[in-house]
Structure formats: structure tokens, C-alpha cells
Amino acid sequence: MKVKKLELGFFKVNCYILSLDEKDIIIDPGADFNTIQQYLKKENIKPDFILNTHGHYDHIGAVTDVISNYNIPFYIHELEEPIIKDPEKNLSSFFGKNGLSLKTYNLIKKSDYNYFADFGIKIVNTAGHTPGSIIIIAGNCVFTGDLLFKESVGRTDLAGGDIIQMKKSLVKIKSMEAEMELHPGHGPSSTLEHELKNNYYLQDDFLKEDY
């Protein structure tokens, strides 16, 4: 298994190329298709599909270009559908030159999780930043999207954000093995062991606080 991180676009979103034994997966293709294409060409990789942690503008900017150039499917959790279709909800109407409304996508329902298990990938719905945010677990790596960053967490004040759900999702991550590597949607990677010690948002004081 190989993980390549590409930092893309104005918001420096972390796009990951996850190469498994038989599949190459693009996680969160942010708005810089050229950088993605150059890497894939250099490594002679033909990607199999796109899998997104959630549907915000900075994470989906190159989805349409990747689909049209490689003719591959794009998967996102079903609860993200309103976000990827709505430029206000995915924030592209605020930050992008043109509002972004995706037309081509495959929605992941709970019953579809097994499709990814066939490739050795586990996905878990971890609402909080957005309702359909997922974490993607492959081997000892967890791709945490905008749920968990190194020593921080994602925002819950955007459309669909929910602090109570966020806490429940953080508890799910806490229960994983401490040596798991964490690859967030922005900023540097970490380990769960480091976060358990240094991330305020994983401490009981925060998780038990009422809102």
C-alpha cells in the first residue's frame, strides 16, 4: 500500500492517491487537476475511482476534470448530495469564480460499504463537519477529512455542521488503535497516539461538555 499526498488549491486541501494491491484511488481531488494528472502520469497510474471524505468546495474542485479525463466513478456518502449540488452549501459560491454543482456522482449508502471492503477499505460515517462526512480506513491509515486535524478539528458552524455529532464521531476515532496514522484533509499527518495526548478535542473535558 502506498499513500501519496498532494496539497492542492488555494485552501491547500490534501488530496491523497491511495495505491492498494489492485486499485488506485483518488481521495478528495481539490481544485488543481494539473497536479493530480502530472503525478498519475509520472507514476504511470490509471486511477480506478474517486472517493471523497465530504463534499465541500475545496475537496471537490477537480472531480469533474478527473471524471472526464479518466472516465472513472466518483463516490461520496449519500448525505452529502445536497452539498455537492448546491454552490452555497459547498461554499463555492463564496470562494470560487463559478458556483460548483456536481452532476455526476455515485452515492454511498450504508448497504454499499461492502463494495469498498472488497478492496480492503473500511468507511465509517463520521458526521459533525458535514452530515455525510466519512473517514476512510486502509491498513494502518485513516483518512480523516475535515473531522480531525493534527491537534485540532474541523468546523461545525457551516451548513450541516453539528457539534454533538462531531463529538460522537471523535469518540469513534478514539476507540481505534493508537498506532494508526492519521491523514487529514488539511495540514500535516499525525498518529492517533499523538492526538490522544495533544489534541484538546479528544480529551474527556471537551467530549463530555454539554452544548
Q: Which is nearer to Fe ion, 20 or 159 (CB)?
A: 159
| Strand arrangement, sheet containing 181-184 | 121-125, 134-138, 141-145, 181-184, 190-191
Applying CB under 5 A, which part among 19-27, 53-61, 113-121, 171-179 lies near Fe ion? 53-61
CB nearer to Fe ion: pick between 47 and 185: 185
Spell out a b/e string for 176-204, using b for 16 or more CB atoms within 10 Å of the CB, else e.
eeeebbbbbbbeebbbbeebeeebebbee
Cβ of residue 129: shortest distance to Fe ion, in angstroms? Answer: 6
Minimum CB distance to Fe ion, residue 13 (Å): 8
Tell me if 183 contacts Fe ion by CB under 5 A.
no
Q: Is 28 in the site for Fe ion (CB under 5 A)?
A: no
Please choose, out of 21-29, 33-41, 62-70, 140-148, the segment that lies near Fe ion by the rule CB under 5 A.
140-148
Using Cβ positions, the residue closest to Fe ion within the complex turns out to be 56
User: Measured from the CB atom, is 56 or 183 closer to Fe ion?
Assistant: 56
d(CA 143, CA 198): 19
Q: Which of 56, 77, 167, 183 is in the footprint of Fe ion by CB under 5 A?
A: 56
Measured between alpha carbons, how far is residue 204 from residues 144, 167, 188 in Å?
20, 10, 24
Size of the site for Fe ion (CB under 5 A): 2
Q: Are 182 and 195 contacting, i.e. CB atoms less than 8 angstroms apart?
A: yes
- Our CB check for Fe ion shows the closer of 19 and 190 to be 190
24 within 8 A of 48, measured Cβ to Cβ: yes
Identity (one letter) of the amino acid at 90?
N
Q: Nearest approach, Cβ of 192 to Fe ion (angstroms)?
A: 21
Is residue 185 within 8 Å of 145, Cβ to Cβ? yes
CB of 146 to Fe ion, least distance (A): 4
Q: Is 146 in the site for Fe ion (CB under 5 A)?
A: yes
CA distance 155 to 114: 29
Q: Which is nearer to Fe ion, 75 or 149 (CB)?
A: 149
Minimum distance from residue 92 beta carbon to Fe ion (Å):
12
Q: Which of 204, 169, 196 is nearest to 180 (CA)?
A: 196
Shortest spacing between CB 1 and Fe ion, in angstroms: 25
Q: List residues near Fe ion by CB under 5 A.
A: 56, 146
